[in-house]
Structure 1
Amino acid sequence: MLTSNKMSQVPPNIQLQLLKTYTDIEEKNAKNWKSKWGWILGEYKDLKNRLKQRTDVSEVMEKAPITDPRKILPVPKSVNHEYGWVCSKPEFCLQIYGPDVPNRRIPEKYCW
């Protein structure tokens, strides 16, 4: 493919012809894709069905219900209701450890 510097040297009618040729090639390849590579879709569908059958039978893949013990009350009717009211609750605090936790260094055996 021509770069932008070389493309500026090509006359506009040739640029248009190149664009048409590239577009025709893309359309032809899109039409022929299913006949050449359509078998991959069948393989993928079979694999998906086999995995679904195994996960339905598997004891490891049991789905446990997810419950969130935190509780959010409705937004308070105040001027400051847009921010800060959830952060004031300790269960929603993002700073779990606080500022007084020392920074840990990487052990020297990892050569950092």
Structure 2
Amino acid sequence: MAACKPLGSGKECSFVDKDEIWKVHVKIELQSAKAWPNKWGFLNKSYKEMQEESNKLKDVVKLELPQHLKTRPPTPPEKYIQVGPSPPVPQTTQAQIGWRSAVPKLQLERYGKVQCGKKSFLKELGWALDACS
């Protein structure tokens, strides 16, 4: 199996190399999943015991929150959102296209056009652009 170097270092990985690397990762993952109960299975029992103990303590100790830490009930949306009447529905299907966006108050872009970021997560990591689908 040929060693693959990072992007931009000269030699690129072929599809066969990438497939072999993927097979090795899957094999290691399956082996780890089989070995986990023997190595770390005791953690499940400890976690369950701790969870039961925690539930018992919750029942015994009931704390009352101070007034300044309590949450207020939510304000009803009708108090700060007013919905006006819609313009009349057009008579033809041709006129229905964009009939609401023609009215400035009903446009979705109230705060200007949506702008997408120019950074790429994959570029920041130094991965190939087709690494994720």
What TM-score do you get using the length of structure 1 for normalisation?
0.47
TM-score, normalisation: structure 2: 0.41
More helix by share: 1
Structure of greater relative contact order (alpha carbons < 8 Å, 6+ residues apart): 2
